[in-house]
Amino acid sequence: MTVFKAYIKVLLKSKFTILLYTVMLVVFGILNMQMNDTGMNYTSSKADVLIINDDENKGVTKSLIDYISSNSNIIEIENDKEKISDALFYRDVNFIINIPKNFRTDFLEGKNPQIEIQRTNDYPSYLAYNLLSKYIETAGYYLEFINDENQIIKNTEETLKTNTNVEISSKLDNDGLSKAKTFFNFSNYTMLSGCIFIICLLMTVFNNEKISKRTIISSTNYKALNRKLMISNGLFAITLWLIYVILSFIILRKQMLSFHGLLYIINLFVFTLTTLSISFLLGKITNNKEAINGMVNVIALGSSFLCGSFVPIEYLPKFVVNIAHLLPSYWFIISNGKISTLESFNFETLKPILFNMTILIIFIIIFTIISNIITKYKRKIA
Amino acid sequence: MKKIVEVKELTKEYKNLKAVNNLSFEVEKGEILGLLGPNGSGKSTTINCILALLNYQKGLIKIFDKPMTPEAYDIKRKIGVIFQDVAVFDELNVYDNIDYFCGLYVSDKQTRKKYVNDAIKLVGLEDFEKFLPKQLSGGLLRRLNIACGIAHKPELIILDEPTVAVDPQSRNNILSGIKKLRDTGATIIYTTHYMEEVEILCDRIIILDKGSVIAQGTIDELKRLAKIEEKVTVEVTDLEEKYVHKISTFKNVESVSYTGTLLLITYKKGKNNLLELMDYLKSEGIKYNKIFSERPSLNDVFLELTGKELRD
């Protein structure tokens, strides 16, 4: 009890640091959730298109222009090469269609006239390209069977008007689960920072060479005392986990009261234990209080950036993601992503998450073994 | 008398250095044993071996009649150690620090509370209980260090140079605290390189040099090892060589030296020497500022035995 009492007293000296990381989790977690609103809300979008028509505006040509115009934002730019080039560069326009002279007659004669296009290579430009291709292919199809231009235009326009209703059958609260994912992904940083900072600080205090010497000569078994320290560290990490769980219930009540919520909590628990083993290892390595801040920055910030805690992992370059595989945070964050898209719960669907948790447990075992080797090595030197 | 500590033929070697060489001594119940020697003489190594903090190549160490090992927790329970370096938690206040270290020995809360209060009283930190170590002066910090080492009321107390870099007032306080501990029945091993401290404090002294015992005994026994019985120092200016020469021919004079303004005369025997010298100086009309007589110190013994000063 003496050790635990002293541990609590030393810990309370750092209460502002713990509070700081908790406030960071709440503030940045909520901010991130609002910024990353990645729910399944669909809105139609139109490309900005410039049409340069060198042909007569009638017949198939007119029909094509009307079709493109009704499905895009038509941009008016002076027919000047430099101005058109600038508009494309500054994304004032996504797609430029240059209809050549005699397009209508050549098309009707089956000469397959080429339409010159310029594009920005982004999503709206693909949209405009699709419109153009769809019209030419449909009209071309009718040209094979019908000779009358008006009939071709009529059939083409009717075909292109046909719509299909798409129904999304998912019952998932995608928006809410995505917010929960963002919250738990951000907890990667605060959990790592909080645990590493506090546990390393306490370890340096209790493992101070002079204090250790006094402890070794006392009638308290040194191994038992180390065990008590480990248990105290474990209790601290679990308390931090509990605080984060309570916070998640306050912020994301609906999502947390589901099986998804339970999985998020279990995943965070396994990651908390991994963080504890990392912190314990680092605490064994360092005896310098000044070095702790540096370690927090390198490990917590570094792995949070590399593993997609701040920026979704999909946006990270491939080589960064490859490196991230070596870090526990990656497996924690990947699991959060998988939990947010789980439609049903059975062994098959949970297998990838259980696999990631197993990898985290392997990390715990590795870090604990290294810590024990270091402890034995240090004891030998003494 | 009951033997509390027995060290037999202790040898501790580092790669190319014999830090302790075939050292044997005993400490009896209730005595204060001084381990005196210059820096590097093997005092701290001996203490670390006694406390099983260091392995040693040869020898036997028994404390309370049992072999001392790192796992001898029943023996450790009765030992209190105060190291040269202050070893306390910066984050805990005076009371909590003493309570923590006392708690490593005493689990009963009520007993511990009493012991902690007794220790605070003993070292005179009653007014600083709620102070953090960084708020204490160097002397008060040393007192806290001592309180942390003795709060569990050990029967054997080992103090390893506890007064290094301490101001004279705090040093006196520490020394009187150690005397109080002895009065409560504790046996004390005190290592230092300050000969004045062992002269004030210790019942018996072991003088170490290069890891070996060069002399041991009571202060009187050790002083008898020095060839001189009295030292007379005279502060005098412009003393001619003929007077120095004349003084060297006096009865019992062992040596005479005159450097700067100090005339130092050592005598083999110590009776009426000062009177004879003062009569002579008066008869020759030699005026002096100060004249004083001293008994030989432990430094003289050390000088006699090793040919060098204790604080070389």
Long-range Cβ contacts of B217-222 (<8 Å, 24+ apart): B219/B298, B222/B298, B222/B301
Nearest CA in chain B to A220: B104
pLDDT tens-digit readout, A37-82:
555 555 667 889 999 989 888 899 999 999 999 989 998 888 888 8
Query: Which residues in chain B are contacts of A217 at CB distance < 8 A?
Result: 51-53, 76, 79, 81
DSSP secondary structure letters along B188-257: EEEEES-HHHHHHH-SEEEEEETTEEEEEE-HHHHHTTSS-SEEEEEE-SS--HHHHHHHHTSTTEEEEE
Query: Which residues in chain A are contacts of B99 at CB distance < 8 A?
Result: 2
Could you say which residues of chain B have pLDDT below 50?
Answer: 312
Nearest CA in chain A to B50: A217
Query: Which residues in chain A are contacts of B101 at CB distance < 8 A?
Result: 214, 218
How far apart (Å, rounded) are the C-alpha atoms in residues A39 and B157? 71
Mutate to test the interface with A, among B49, B73, B79, B104 (most CBs of A within 10 A): B104
pLDDT surpassing 60 at residue A168: no
Chain A with chain B: Cβ pairs closer than 8 A: 67
Mean pLDDT of chain A: 85
Query: Which residues in chain B are contacts of A208 at CB distance < 8 A?
Result: 87
pLDDT of residue B310: 62
B104 with A13: Cβ contact below 8 A: no
pLDDT of residue A36: 57
ipTM of predicted assembly, 2 dp = 0.78
Alpha helices in chain A (DSSP H): 2-12, 15-35, 59-70, 81-89, 103-108, 123-145, 149-161, 174-206, 209-216, 222-251, 253-256, 259-285, 289-295, 302-307, 318-324, 328-340, 347-381
pLDDT surpassing 70 at residue A173: no
pLDDT of residue B110: 93
* Percent over 70 (pLDDT), chain A: 92
Mutate to test the interface with B, among A218, A222, A232 (most CBs of B within 10 A): A218
Q: One-letter amino acid identity for B75?
A: I
Highest mean pLDDT among A21-30, A228-237, A353-362: A353-362
CA-nearest of B157, B160, B190, B159 to B76 is B157
Query: Which residues in chain A are contacts of B86 at CB distance < 8 A?
Result: 210
What is the model's pTM?
Answer: 0.70
Q: Which residues of B touch A (CB under 8 A)?
A: 51-53, 70, 73-74, 76-77, 79, 81, 83, 85-92, 96, 99-101, 103-105, 107, 148-149
